[in-house]
Amino acid sequence: MTVFQRAEYTGRIERVKQRMAAAGIDVLLCTDPANMNYLSGYDGWSFYVHQLIALALDDDEPVWIGRQMDAAGAKLTTFLRHENICGYPDDYVDSPQRHPMAFVAREFCARGWDKGRIGVEMDSFSLTARAHAQLEATLPYAELVDAQALVNWVRIVKSPAELAMMRVAAIIVARAMAAGIEAIEPGVRECDVVAKICSAQIGGTPEHWGDYPAALPSAPSGIKTAAPHLTWSGDRYAADTVTFLELAGCHHRYHAALARTVCLGRPPDGLAELAAIVTDGLEVALDAARAGRTCHEVEAVWRALITKKGHEKGSRIGYSIGLGYPPDWGERTASLRPEDTTVLQPDMCFHMILGMWRESWGYELSETFRVSAAGPPEVLTAFPRKLFARP
């Protein structure tokens, strides 16, 4: 029982095959769990063991290969015929003697896929160095070629059905953000705020359930806001400090992300001024994010504004977002930054995130948006765009 109708998957497979044909790839081996889900519907927290789907250019559907115990989940979550769901025995798991890719290679031989060009996702965190070496050793007549992000570049343009998921995710993240901000006050522990946020992320709305975001909240307070990507602890919020929340909502593995900053009491010197500049920067950059523009042009608009105000930011201001599994809700394709020549197309979605980290505090502001056919983008996340004050 898949999330989308079969035609959605058929279209995806067709578009992926076009790229495979252009790259001369006979069989595509996808280990990235988001790509596995995209092409088959497969969904389960089994991506801590080796697993993949393989799509042959001349087959109509992919083959799932994973741990035997997870074959039951593949039957429940994919549209695949059961002969296209292959489980390897449990003694391949975490074994120094047997590697699952040796099993995969035998399955490839049995299907006549051992002599052509096999595309693998060379820089996906789901394809280990040993997995690749094992494939090389066990498939001596095949040519392994890099197909990193081949499927991701198909995923970057969303279908109407996918956009519907992302709009739900955006509703959920706004509720989670509101729950978090409301709970912040001096003396409260960070973990108690995050407990409320996660409850809202997962409970969703009465109409829509919340799936687990591919990253848990960043919710640091005080000095810890000087860095991105710190999660939370049992520290208590203190008066006259800053905190930011960077969260996603998720629905059927589709994400919308949102960041806001909250000040408890007196803001540190420079914060209010920086917040105003960043808000202006967000607005001009969002307005620039139109179909036909490049990613670097969007970033340049932001950069020009903050440079004029005497600020700089050394990191990208956004990236493509959508379907994802831990550790990343980003799609690892286009980034809003210098040199990225990706041309924005309608129904691409980005998380534009403006994080400014100083010596002893930080400020974050973000929105998730969809590129429109004409005019400025549709901002999926609807939340007041300001520096919040608590309590």
Q: Are 99 and 131 in contact (CB under 8 A)?
A: yes
Nearer to a second copy, 292 or 327 (CB): 327
Interface positions, 40-79, toward a second copy (CB under 8 A): 43-48, 68-70, 72-73, 75-77
In the bound state with a second copy, the residue whose beta carbon lies nearer, of 357 and 378, is: 357
Report d(CA 106, CA 98) in Å as an integer. Answer: 13
Tell me if 130 contacts a second copy by CB under 8 A: yes
Query: C-beta of 190: minimal distance to a second copy in Å?
Result: 8
Residue 48: CB minimum distance to a second copy, A: 4
Answer yes or no whether residue 333 interacts with a second copy by CB under 8 A: yes
Nearer to a second copy, 90 or 287 (CB): 90
Q: Return the number of the residue (45 or 239) whose C-beta is nearest a second copy.
A: 45
Q: At 238, which amino acid appears?
A: A
Question: What tokens does 128 get?
Answer: 């280990």
Examine residue 188 and tell whether it contacts a second copy (CB under 8 A).
Answer: no
Instruction: For the chain, state the CA radius of gyration.
Output: 22
- The residue among 157, 154, 255 whose CA lies nearest residue 214 is 255
Minimum distance of a second copy from residue 379's CB (angstroms): 23
Nearer to a second copy, 49 or 376 (CB): 49
Residue found by looking up tokens 């975001």 in the block: 213
Among 14, 91, 269, 273, contact with a second copy (rule: CB under 8 A): 91
Determine which residue in the list 41, 119, 249, 355 makes contact with a second copy, applying CB under 8 A: 355
Find the part of the chain contacting a second copy (CB under 8 A) among 85-93, 111-119, 157-165, 381-389: 85-93
CB 85 within 8 A of CB 64: yes
In angstroms, rounded to a whole number, what is the distance separating the alpha carbons of residues 250 and 175?
Answer: 12
Q: Give the interface segment with a second copy, choosing from 11-19, 78-86, 104-112, 142-150 (CB under 8 A).
A: 142-150
Provide DSSP, 323-383: EEETTEEEEEEEESSTT--PBP-TTBEEEEEEEEE-SS-EEEEEEEEE--SSSS-EE----
Query: Which residues, 6 or more positions from 269, have their beta carbon under 8 angstroms from its beta carbon?
Result: none
Nearest C-alpha neighbor of 242 from the set 357, 362, 356, 358: 362
Write out the binding residues for a second copy, residues 292-321 only, by CB under 8 A: 314-316, 319
Smallest separation (angstroms) from a second copy to the CB of 58: 26
Given candidates 111, 132, 296, 311, which one binds a second copy under the rule CB under 8 A? 132
